[in-house]
Amino acid sequence: MQIFYTVQSGDTLSDIANRWGISIHSLIQMNNLPNPDFLFVGQQLSMPPGIFRYRVKPGDTLFNIASQYKVPFSVIIEANNLQAPYTIFPGQLLEVPPGSPYYVVQPGDTLYNIGLRYNVTTAGRVNVQLIQSANGLSSSMIYPGMRLTIPFAPLGEDGIIAYTVGRADGFDIWLYDVANGNTHKLTNGLGESFSVPYWSPNGERISFVGRHNVIFVVTISTGEVARIDQLPEGLGAYLDWSPDSKKLVYAKGNTITLYDVSTHRSQVINQAGATDVQWFPNGNQLLFQAIDENGLSQLYRIRTNGTGKMQITNNTGGRFNHVRLSPNGRYVLYTSPGASISIIYIIDLVDGITREVEGGPLAKNYFPTWNSNSQVIAFSATVLEELGYFSLVSIVNNQGMDQRTLAISNCFSTPVDWSPDGSKLVYLSGCSTDSPASELWVIDVERLTLRQLLTQPNIMSVQWAPMTKPSQSATYRNTNYRIQFQYPAHWEQMTPERYEGVDGFFQISAISSPAAIHVVCQNEAFHQLMPYGSNPTITSTTIQNQEACYIYPSADQAPEMNNQAALIIRYPAPVMIEGSLYQFFILWADQEHIDRIGSSIKFL
């Protein structure tokens, strides 16, 4: 949910931004401010993430700190779980949020203009229903003084983000659907804290090193898991897919292994001490790191048949870390010398020149990654202030110039990754002194708008799928239920009446009832088991000229219902199924797909 600061007398955008260490440009874009130089007392600003901490000094009181930050006294008390008489002491680190997690409705407001103002948009459209659901509203009616929580909306774009999460039953790979915000657990207890999901270029598979240092490959559409190999160590192991998505390459001991995921056959190249093996974009050569005759780390290239080995670098220093070849094969980035001091370097393989990236003030620069056109690198730069560790999500061009900080994470460091088109970055935040990240964020690189995609404890890594396959539809036809409609072609049949995919599901049935449709819809929506939460929304409509209703879940729907919604339609004529007469057809599907499927329904 978004956090709102209420403008006080004398405030300027610069004052507000400096108070919490945030970007003025992000502040402007988060609030769609038409005139950044004009603020008015009482105006509510949605605040991007910043440095929401304060170190108590001798003589400080909660009242003085609240006055300094111009936030209500109660906000600091609640954020720090302070108990009366609210004693604080020098050196104590306090959380100082910039406001409250709700918006106070003003005269003339509508859910639409609130959503437009605070970027609650999905696929370019204001997502009014999301605000309704977040607040348990049965209609769009609001009134001045009402307090509304304002959610961050799913982007509504094609794409999947993979991330690693630790829970009581172990670490696993999860998927986040960029279009609708749905999440899906891909594996069952196979991961480790160091597991990084590596996407195949066609987006069909993910490889990772997991439990017992085993290399796993998961097919996204089916969830099928293949165990490829076992490494001596999993931490720091790097896997890379061939450009045609058919082979996986990795280093093991004194060999380079090329594994064909279709034939399950391996090819081995003998190479002592090889690490960081990856494909050149031509698919015929590999890049790797190894020790030369003088005991120094060098980068090499070699043909995939094991011939034509050639040294690329003339390194006289230490080992290369986090070696990554650019997508166009021209540049290589790496970090050096180690973890405590980590400087990013870029090698141009055409002219041999190595360039140093300025990076953050502490020379702790982590997780550098190329965008798809090889022009820009994103990375995380750690900063240690009096207020604790933070990391700057930054970008720099392939010449090591034009460095910009785009966002702030409250983690010591955060993995970052690009959207396929290079317009957005995903990163982690929500860290504390004793726990890893709990938030997944995305930033638009040009507009500098930020969205929180999800909150989930113990997120360890994140990778955006490099591409998505075009959405294709298939036709479902069931003569027993006299029904036909379109559904996503990649969904798999579970039963004759149920299909599922990583991004949704549908299931069909029928209802026998002599009642009017509004009664049938009411009974389904408010079933005693509350399958749609405590306050679902019922919307009347017509399908194929027949009375119908949609049932959308409320915000408190149980997670195991997988965002289930429903569509009930009166049959044109009652249908006999297995000896019983049914007056109504019912479709259950995830909320993202139910409208699309429903609009394609035809009675047979």
| Token output for 556 | 């408190």
Q: What are phi and psi of 212, to 5 degrees?
A: 60, 25
Cα separation, 325 vs 277, whole angstroms: 10
| Token output for 232 | 């001596």
Cα separation, 97 vs 249, whole angstroms: 46
Sign of CA dihedral 522, 526, 531, 534: positive
pLDDT single digits (tens) 82-94: 988 888 999 998 9
Longest Cα separation, the chain: 88
**Is 475 within 8 Å of 152 (Cβ atoms)?**
no
Query: What pLDDT is attached to residue 468?
Result: 54
Cα separation, 381 vs 338, whole angstroms: 14
Query: What pLDDT is attached to residue 470?
Result: 47
User: Which helix (DSSP H) or strand (DSSP E) does residue 228 occupy?
Assistant: strand 225-230
Angle, CA of 168, 171 and 177, to the nearest 5°: 110
Residues with Cβ within 8 Å of residue 231, at least 6 apart in sequence: 209, 213, 214, 215, 237, 250, 252
Reported residue count of the chain is 604
Query: What pLDDT is attached to residue 567?
Result: 96
DSSP string, 20-81: HT--HHHHHHHTT-S-TT---TT-EEEPPP---EEE--TT--HHHHHHHHT--HHHHHHHTT
pTM, rounded to two decimals: 0.76
Rg (alpha carbons) of the chain, rounded to whole number:
27
> Which residues of the chain carry a pLDDT beneath 50?
470
Residues with Cβ within 8 Å of residue 363, at least 6 apart in sequence: 341, 342, 343
Cα separation, 398 vs 332, whole angstroms: 10
Cα separation, 139 vs 583, whole angstroms: 29
Q: What is the mean pLDDT of the chain?
A: 92
Strand arrangement of the beta sheet that strand 285-291 belongs to: 275-279, 285-291, 297-303, 310-311
Compute CA distances 379 → 178, 288, 344, 364, 488, whole Å: 22, 22, 9, 10, 36
Distance of CA 175 to the CA centre of its chain: 8
Cα separation, 342 vs 159, whole angstroms: 32
pLDDT single digits (tens) 328-373: 999 999 999 988 999 999 999 888 899 999 999 999 999 999 999 8
**Is 298 within 8 Å of 277 (Cβ atoms)?**
no
Query: What pLDDT is attached to residue 471?
Result: 53
